[in-house]
Amino acid sequence: MNIYNQIKTTRAISDDGIERLIERESVELTAYQDVAGIWTIGVGHTGADVYEGLTVTYDQAISLLHADIERFETVVNRCIDVYLEQHEYDALVSLAFNIGVHAFKTSTVVRLINANDFLGAADAFMMWKKAGARVVQGLINRRKDERAQFLGIGL
């Protein structure tokens, strides 16, 4: 175990990270099926509680986001064994939010970060561009944005 792992503390996404995540996901007050056919509402909220015809208020959508985001902060905190700048952490939470806990934990992004190959990890964001086995331009755009955030470009 490295020295950082011995002293690391639980981190949280920043306000800027949340704003960027909301921009990437958008806020949908009526349930819809995403490109993979998954029922979604609010800011990317999915689950058994989301079904056709469901509606929420803006405040409910933001409340769901804050409840959901804890799961993704936890996976980033548990999987990353090296120090991260806040913008790097925020980009990783956004990625985990979009690809899911299991995919994040087993990703090349995580492996490369923990090997201190941050540029390689940034490039590995671009591997996550498919939904339903097809390349989706919206995911390519999102990954470019997350990669730039991770690298601190345009902050």
Domains and CATH numbers, the chain: 3-151 (1.10.530.40)
**Per-residue pLDDT for 135 more than 60?**
yes
DSSP string, 98-152: HH-HHHHHT-HHHHHHHTT-HHHHHHHGGG--EETTEE-HHHHHHHHHHHHHHHT
| Mean pLDDT for the stretch of residues 103-115 | 98
**pLDDT at 107 > cutoff 50:** yes
Asked if residue 9 has pLDDT above 80, the reply is no
> Taking 90 as the threshold, does the pLDDT of residue 73 lie above it?
yes
Distance of CA 74 to the CA centre of its chain: 12
Closest-CA residue to 141 (of 128, 155, 122): 128
Cα gap 60→141, rounded to integer Å: 27
pLDDT surpassing 70 at residue 3:
no
Q: Which of 15, 23, 28, 34 is catalytic?
A: 34
In 3D space, the residue among 78, 85, 84, 97 whose CA is nearest the CA of residue 18 turns out to be 97
pLDDT in tens, 13-43: 999 999 999 999 999 999 999 988 999 999 9
25 is annotated as an active-site residue: yes
What is residue 37's DSSP assignment?
S
Instruction: Give the pLDDT score at 1.
Output: 45
**60-87: average pLDDT:** 97
pLDDT at 10: 81
Is 19 a known active-site residue?
no
- List the beta bridge partners of residue 46: 40
Of the candidates 16, 19, 25, 90, the residue annotated as catalytic is 25
What tens digit of pLDDT does each residue of 81-102 get?
999 999 999 999 999 999 999 9
